[in-house]
Amino acid sequence: EGSPTPVVAFLSVASKIAGLALLVRPLNIVFPFLFNQWHFILEILAICSMILGNSVAITQT
């Protein structure tokens, strides 16, 4: 509410990248041989979160 658009965009993207990095590094260390399996699961979760987030945003307007 009143923040400049570039600041909001940076905070939005930076937090998501940091969260992904915090998730990927431990998974890569613990399960290095299962990269394709958990990579696919992360893709599905990302798609579902985008669909759910957009659906909720549409209902708010």
**Confidence at residue 23, expressed as pLDDT on a 0 to 100 scale:** 84
**Confidence at residue 52, expressed as pLDDT on a 0 to 100 scale:** 92
pLDDT exceeds 80 at position 61: no
What is the longest distance spanned by two Cα atoms in the chain?
Answer: 47
Give this prediction's pTM: 0.53
**Confidence at residue 51, expressed as pLDDT on a 0 to 100 scale:** 92
pLDDT tens column, 5-56: 888 889 888 988 898 889 888 888 888 888 778 778 888 988 999 899 889 9
